Amino acid sequence: MRVEATETFVRLYRKLPAEIQTRVKKTISMFASDPSHSSLGHKKMAGQEDIYEIRVSDNYRITYQKIDDIAYLRKVGTHDLLRNP
């Protein structure tokens, strides 16, 4: 699967602590090679028709929207930020 980051995702990513940025990179790499990997905690977001989330750490998540064979990374941040994916 091809993965592309939106401008919003890039802006939010740059604000993250360096340690979390490193974890985000590893998570995205794993997601691109195996989207169903169990450590990603991959799930559809409640109340959203086509938006999903994957786990970066206990407190950080990435949301994405899949269109055809492309996963568009939408947001990255804590649970509080992702209430509006």
Residue 68 in 3-state DSSP? coil
pLDDT tens readout for residues 4-47: 999 999 999 999 999 999 999 999 999 999 998 999 998 888 88
> Phi and psi at residue 22, in whole multiples of 5°?
-60, -45
> Phi and psi at residue 65, in whole multiples of 5°?
-125, 130
Domains of the chain: 2-79 (3.30.2310.20)
Position 85 scores a pLDDT of: 60
Contact 58, 23 (CB under 8 A): no
Q: What is the DSSP letter of 48?
A: -
Position 61 scores a pLDDT of: 95
C-alpha 8 chain-centroid distance: 12
Position 46 scores a pLDDT of: 82
